[in-house]
């Protein structure tokens, strides 16, 4: 049922009260969360099943919840969305963890956790969800079939570069992926990295002040997937992940809810990482 003017204003007020949105999410009735990353522009690249009824899905590194909501819209019976239990639990570089993260007060850390990890997701899923998305606070390293069960589809979008140990991360995702399940994963994979000769190359892109670690060639991801018990079944095409000016994204989603035409929305130019993304699909192998 459409919201009345008062309900819409209240939703807009709650959205505006949260700082640091990541995803632009269409909450309906013209309300769009002010995040610079408009995944409606990229979701088609993931080739997710149109009809996910009967499926249990896992969104790893869910952020504000765009993909969890998308999996639910496709009819998944249950979507479990996981992200780190706290901002400090990210794989920060040792220098950053020591000099900045560890020197924040407990109150500052709580505020970041509440705002950027929990409140935005809860608001988005509360406003646009259908009741089948559940969020859990757990690092990718701690995914556990005894605790989380197993899944027909595991989605790991734009997050593998944030872990220092991608092999362990893939291994943990394999542990929660059913034997006939599918992993859909995107990685940072610039075309100049080992493409020509099919070398399984990883490039360290960490710096002292972040939690970005690895870019990989498609062959590197393929070999890591095999090493972790996945049988790669194909590569998606590369796409360039760019942030967008928030107002332009909001206008595009308001005018035409659904997939967004990237050409119609200019990039902001602020996100400068060479984030050419390659996406791969893998089925579990025994
Ligand atoms: C670049 S965002 C991607 C968000 C979303 N998956 C997407 O594609 O738009 C990376 C997300 O991974 C989460 N993340 C980082 N390290 C993680 C870890 N060790 N375990 C689980 N999530 C993690 C971050 O908190 C963040 O929400």
Q: Are 236 and 211 in contact (CB under 8 A)?
A: no
What number of other Cβ atoms are within 10 A of residue 22's Cβ? 18
| Cβ neighbours of residue 153 closer than 8 Å, sequence gap 6 or more | 48, 49, 52, 55, 56, 57, 58, 71, 76, 181, 182, 183, 184
The answer to whether ipTM exceeds 0.95 is: yes
Closest CA to 159 of 180, 140, 132, 136: 140
Q: Residue 159: which pLDDT band, with cuts at 50, 70 and 90?
A: very high
Please report the atom of ligand 1 found closest to the CA of residue 89. 19
The mean pLDDT value of the chain amounts to 88
5 pLDDT more than 90: yes
State the DSSP H helix or E strand holding residue 64, giving kind and residue range, or none if neither.
Answer: none
- CA 205 vs CA 137, 163, 166, 188: distances in Å: 26, 12, 14, 10
Q: 97-101, 179-183, 232-236 — which one is most confidently predicted on average? A: 179-183
Instruction: Render pLDDT for 71-110 as a digit per residue (tens, 0 to 9).
Output: 999 999 999 999 998 888 889 888 888 887 788 888 888 8
Residue with tokens 């018990």: 229
The yes-or-no verdict on residue 272 having pLDDT over 50 is: no
Separation of CA 161 and ligand 1 centre (Å): 9
Give the H or E element holding residue 159: none
First to last CA, the chain: 46
What number is the average pLDDT over the span 7-36?
Answer: 94
Which residue has the CA at smallest separation from atom 24 of ligand 1?
Answer: 61
Decide: 139 and 41 in contact? Cβ < 8 Å. Answer: no
Ligand 1, atom 16, lies closest to the CA of 90
Phi, psi of 242 (to 5 degrees): -130, 150
Residue 278 confidence (pLDDT): 65
**Pocket probe mutation, ligand 1, options 20, 141, 162, 186, max atoms within 8 Å of Cβ:** 162
Ligand 1 midpoint to CA 208 (Å): 19
DSSP letter string, 192-205: TSSTTTT---EEE-
Confidence of residue 21 (pLDDT cuts 50, 70, 90): very high
3-state secondary structure 220-262: HHHHHHHHCCEEEEEECCCEECCCCCHHHHHHHHHHCCCCCCH
Would the pLDDT of 276 be above 70? no
CB hemisphere CA count around 192 (13 angstroms): 2
Strand partners, 56: 78
pLDDT digits (tens, 9 = 90+) for 28-38: 999 999 999 99
């Amino acid at each position: 049922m459409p919201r009345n003017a008062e309900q819409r204003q209240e939703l807009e007020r709650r959205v505006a009260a949260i700082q640091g949105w990541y995803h632009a999410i269409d909450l309906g009735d013209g309300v769009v969360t002010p995040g610079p990353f408009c995944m409606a522009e990229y979701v088609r690249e993931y080739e997710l099943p149109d009809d996910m009824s009967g499926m249990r899905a896992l969104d790893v590194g869910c952020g504000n919840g765009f993909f969890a909501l998308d999996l639910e819209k496709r009819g998944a019976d249950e979507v479990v969305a996981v992200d780190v239990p706290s901002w400090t639990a990210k794989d920060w570089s040792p220098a950053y963890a020591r000099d900045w993260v560890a020197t924040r007060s407990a109150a500052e850390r709580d505020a970041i956790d509440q705002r950027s990890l929990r409140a935005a997701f809860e608001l988005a899923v509360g406003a646009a969800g259908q009741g089948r998305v559940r969020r859990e606070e757990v690092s990718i390293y701690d995914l556990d079939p005894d605790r989380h069960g197993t899944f027909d589809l595991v989605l790991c979008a734009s997050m593998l570069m944030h872990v220092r140990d991608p092999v362990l991360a893939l291994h943990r995702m394999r542990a929660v992926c059913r034997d006939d399940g599918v992993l859909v994963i995107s990685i940072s994979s610039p075309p100049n990295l080992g493409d020509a000769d099919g070398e399984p190359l990883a490039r360290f892109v960490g710096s002292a002040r972040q939690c970005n670690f690895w870019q990989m060639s498609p062959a590197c991801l393929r070999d890591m997937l095999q090493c972790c018990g996945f049988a790669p079944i194909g590569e998606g095409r590369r796409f360039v992940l760019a942030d967008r000016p928030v107002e332009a994204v909001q206008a595009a989603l308001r005018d035409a809810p659904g997939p967004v035409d990237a050409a119609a929305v200019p990039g902001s130019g602020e996100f400068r990482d060479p984030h050419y993304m390659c996406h791969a699909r893998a089925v579990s192998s025994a």
